[in-house]
Amino acid sequence: MKITHSVIFCFAGQIPLALINIPWSLYSTFVIEHKFGFNKQTPQLFFKDVLLTQLLTVAIGAPLLAAFLKIVDYFGKRSLAFYVMVFLVTVQIVMIALYPTLIQPLFNKLEPLQEGEVKSKTEELCRKLKFPLGKLWVIDGSRRSAHSNAYFYGLPWSKQIVIYDTLIAQSEPIEVVAVLAHELGHWANWDTTRQLLIAEVHLFSRCMVLSLGVFVFVFCHILDVY
């Protein structure tokens, strides 16, 4: 029951923060972005995104928070840092695998990149870098913004590249490939791997601090009892 109360308390505290953030997001989207010709959102789409984001936060975050608290409750006096670390790393890996297929399609439409110069030059670049390309996608970024971008994601042995439709519309094929070359350069230079390792070390250090805090709490409680 205490875990349920803790989850409710945490998410109840997020409601005021979400409401406070809405005016700033509205100003950023419909004033600043609109001023420079980037905004393509409608108010209906904006609030749909806000609502969907909050629902997903609760639907995904509540079970994860409950599991985290259960681990803290069960392993609080022994090897807490190790079990919390294993749990959080597992969640990261699962989310990397599930986000593109289950979450992102709720917000954007992805379609396979059509045959043409952009696709052929991209595949040529991937072969040259020995990049483990799985699929090439085009995302409807123009639905919300005129900004253009490209990125890749996926597990080490199978990556997928996503190109904004705005980038294709605004650029020559060689310019699109130049943007992708920059992104794939992060992969070739092991930037993403190093960033992930740094994040895991930071995560482990926070777990150790959490474990130390629990130990201090239990130790002080024992002193108070005796």
Instruction: Show the tokens assigned to 82.
Output: 């190790």
Distances (CA, A) of 88 to 58, 112, 199, 200, 206: 17, 32, 11, 9, 11
Q: Under 8 Å CB-to-CB from 157, ≥6 apart: which residues? A: 132
Distances (CA, A) of 143 to 34, 103, 127, 151, 171: 14, 17, 32, 18, 18
Distances (CA, A) of 100 to 57, 91, 140, 159: 16, 15, 14, 11
Helix (H, G, I), strand (E, B) or coil at 164: strand
Q: Under 8 Å CB-to-CB from 146, ≥6 apart: which residues? A: 37, 38, 39, 40, 166
What is the DSSP pairing of strand 158-164 with strand 150-155? antiparallel
Instruction: List the catalytic residue out of 111, 115, 172, 183.
Output: 183
Active site residue 183: yes
Residue owning tokens 């009892």? 225
Residue owning tokens 């005016």? 23
- Give the residue from 91, 167, 106 showing the smallest Cα distance to 136: 167
- Residues labelled catalytic: 183
